[in-house]
Amino acid sequence: MSDEQVTFEDLLIDEEEVSETLLTETLIDYIRIGDESGSIVPQEQFEDLTNNEKVTVVLLAQHALEGLDMTDEEWLTPTDIAKRSGVKKGSVYPAVRDLDDAGIVQNNDGSYRIPTHNLETAKQSIQQENDV
């Protein structure tokens, strides 16, 4: 063990930087974001994702849009998710319910988001399926 004194300061991290790195690493293979429109531009690997994973990617992309100051919206409705993901609205509902049951998303009266403390869990849920 080091002779250096460990203090509470050693626990501090730059949350924005950590979130930015995590989101970029997670999303880069699946989407890009239009620099003027803020639209999600699916990449080839996005099409190989399950509906649950596509919904997760869209909700993670919403965090990225917030970080880029391209939106003030934190929560997305199933209609919003369907438009951005290309997943049929009827398939979005079971996906968000599954993600809610798994504790990955938060539900606010029918609108959804992935809380910051679940970004890593969301990343793992996508990678788990695609590492098989």
Domain 8-130 belongs in CATH node 1.10.287.70: no
User: What are the distances in angstroms from CA 31 to CA 4, 54, 55?
Assistant: 43, 10, 12
Report the C-alpha gap between 68 and 129 in whole angstroms. Answer: 28
Report the C-alpha gap between 30 and 42 in whole angstroms. Answer: 6
Q: What is the pTM of this model?
A: 0.87
Strand positions, DSSP E, the chain: 31-33, 40-42, 106-108, 111-113
pLDDT in tens, the chain (132 residues): 557 888 888 877 677 777 899 999 999 999 999 999 999 999 999 999 999 999 999 999 999 999 999 999 999 999 999 999 999 999 999 999 999 999 999 999 999 999 999 999 999 999 875 554
